[in-house]
Amino acid sequence: MLNYDTPLDRAFQALADPTRRAMVERLTQGPASVSELKRPLEMSLPAVMQHLAVLEMSGLVASQKAGRVRTCRINPAALAEAERWIADRRAEWERRFDRLGEYLKSLNSEGERDEQDR
């Protein structure tokens, strides 16, 4: 298996897990403590911390500890990079489908002209 280690690769690897996606979704609403992130999840605190570590290593989430409370925040720049990558792929495929549509129209038009010439 190839081992990619760019920020974009780490972001997509982090988002591949449904638990981490749920955490990111919660953090898009605003900062949250680890306890708040754990509350809806049916897992231990160490498991939540492991997921958060992956999110932090990917750059999607940053955390800060004040006393005994660790507060997590989303990093919009990392999400924007993933969004930009997806948007670029979408635009390319839309251009390809547009060209295919034009080509199919031209074939249809040629077919109609051939029938009229008969």
Q: Which CATH architecture has domain 7-75?
A: Orthogonal Bundle (1.10)
CA 60 to chain centre: 10
Ranges of each domain in the chain: 7-75
Two tokens, residue 38 = 């754990």
Q: How confident is the model at residue 3 (pLDDT cuts 50, 70, 90)?
A: low
> Is the pLDDT score of 4 beyond 90?
no
Q: Could you report the per-residue pLDDT of 8-52, keeping only the tens digit for each? A: 999 999 999 999 999 999 999 999 999 999 999 999 999 999 999
Give the pLDDT of residue 96: 94
Q: Could you report the per-residue pLDDT of 46-78, keeping only the tens digit for each? A: 999 999 999 999 999 999 999 999 999 999 998
> Is the pLDDT score of 107 beyond 90?
no
Three-state DSSP state, 17: coil
Three-state DSSP state, 33: strand
